[in-house]
Every structure is written in C-alpha cells, then in structure tokens.
C-alpha cells in the first residue's frame, strides 16, 4: 500500500470526512464502470456503488492493508453486486467457447503468421488522438463477452494485478489469463478492423 493510501486509511479511521470525499472523488467513476459491467442496469449499478460506500464506512476499522485501497473497494463492490442478487452465480467453464483467440486465417498451414500483427500504436497516435482512441476502446468493450470484458476492465483499464482479479471474480489464475488473452486479442482485432489494418 502506498504512503498516500496509508495516510488516507488512517484519516478515514479517525472519521475525517474530507478523506472520505477524497476517496469518493478518486474512485467513484471507476466503481461505477465496474458496477455497470456486473449488473443489468445503470440504476442497479448506482445502488451497488452506494452500498459499496456504506460498506467502506462500516468496514474501515477492519481494513488490514493486505491489499491496496483500490482492490479493497473493488472487492466490496463485487460482493455488493453479488449479494444484491443483481447477478446470477458466476460459473466460467474452462472451455471458454469454440472461437479461437486469433482467426485461423491469420496463420499458414505450418502455423506461422500469414498476416502478422502490425504495430498500430504509432500510426494510431498519428491518426487518432488518445481521447478518441480511448472512446473507441470504451465503445468496443461492450462487444466483448461479459467474462472477457470484466477481466479486461479490471486488468487493463483499472490496472489490478492478476491475483486480485481472480479473487474478485472468483476464477482461477489460469482462467483469468485465458480470458485476458482472448479479450486483448479481440480488442486488437476490432481496433485493427476499424483502422483499416486487416
């Protein structure tokens, strides 16, 4: 846990309302985005986030600092979404579908790249501003299967470590890695198609 987090947690334990406001300012948007990926509607997502903040107030005394404040908040949120009954029981089978992560047409008969991935980030910087690209990623994110979208959001958007993501979603580390790989491959493919690279 960073020094800033240690100080913030101590201030919260002392009942410092300014610290609570700072925490809300820092994490409200991230919590809403994660909640929206876990529940069926924005209204339910907002309720889950409100319950998360209540959980923070009630549970700050028990926070031991073994995880970051961010991970602790996300864990509370995921638990709130589950206990609210807003989401069916998670069961992600190891067989994650029949679609390959990369279309077979991208490979030769010997298994080498027929059409290797190209570095598109430099060109993207030239063709699109970072804000536009981020908007495209947010838009395309909804095209990913739910399990892939959640892992992608937690790992690549929120920056959580794989161990925390597995714990939050109740999936194995291997399953989490497969979902992340497939989400990244799918996102890359969608961006390549949008940018006319495939």
Residues 138 and 56 in one domain: no
72 versus 196: which is more confidently predicted? 72
Residues 75 and 109 in one domain: no
Asked if 158 contacts 68 with a C-beta cutoff of 8 angstroms, the reply is no
Residue 97 falls within a domain, yes or no? no
Instruction: Report the pLDDT averaged over residues 91-100.
Output: 52
Domain count, the chain: 2
Q: For position 187, which CATH number holds? A: 1.10.10.10
pLDDT digits (tens, 9 = 90+) for 158-195: 888 888 888 888 888 889 999 999 999 998 888 888 77
Task: Give the range of the structural domain holding residue 71, as residue numbers without chain letter.
Answer: 3-83
pLDDT at 155 over 50: yes
Dihedral sign of CA atoms 160, 82, 37, 103 in order: positive
Q: Which residues contact 43 (CB under 8 A, 6 or more apart)?
A: none
Instruction: Report the pLDDT averaged over residues 96-102.
Output: 63
Instruction: Report the pLDDT averaged over residues 109-130.
Output: 65
- Candidate from 22-36, 57-71, 100-114, 145-159 with smallest mean pLDDT: 100-114
Question: Quick one: pLDDT at residue 51?
Answer: 92
Question: Quick one: pLDDT at residue 87?
Answer: 41
């Amino acid at each position: 846990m960073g020094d800033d987090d240690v100080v913030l947690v101590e201030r919260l334990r002392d009942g410092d309302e300014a610290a609570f406001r700072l925490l809300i300012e820092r994490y409200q948007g991230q919590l809403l985005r994660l909640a929206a990926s876990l529940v069926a509607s924005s209204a339910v997502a907002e309720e889950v986030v409100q319950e998360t903040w209540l959980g923070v107030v009630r549970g700050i005394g028990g926070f031991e600092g073994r995880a970051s404040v961010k991970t602790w908040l996300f864990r509370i949120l995921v638990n709130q979404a589950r206990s609210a009954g807003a989401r069916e029981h998670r069961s992600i089978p190891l067989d994650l579908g029949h679609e390959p992560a990369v279309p077979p047409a991208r490979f030769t008969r010997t298994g080498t790249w027929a059409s290797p991935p190209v570095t598109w980030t430099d060109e993207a910087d030239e063709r699109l501003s970072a804000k536009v690209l981020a908007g495209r990623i947010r838009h395309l994110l909804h095209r990913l299967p739910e399990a892939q979208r959640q892992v992608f959001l937690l790992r690549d958007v929120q920056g959580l470590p794989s161990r925390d993501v597995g714990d939050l979603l109740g999936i194995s580390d291997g399953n989490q890695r497969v979902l992340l790989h497939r989400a990244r491959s799918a996102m890359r493919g969608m961006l390549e198609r949008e940018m006319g690279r495939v």
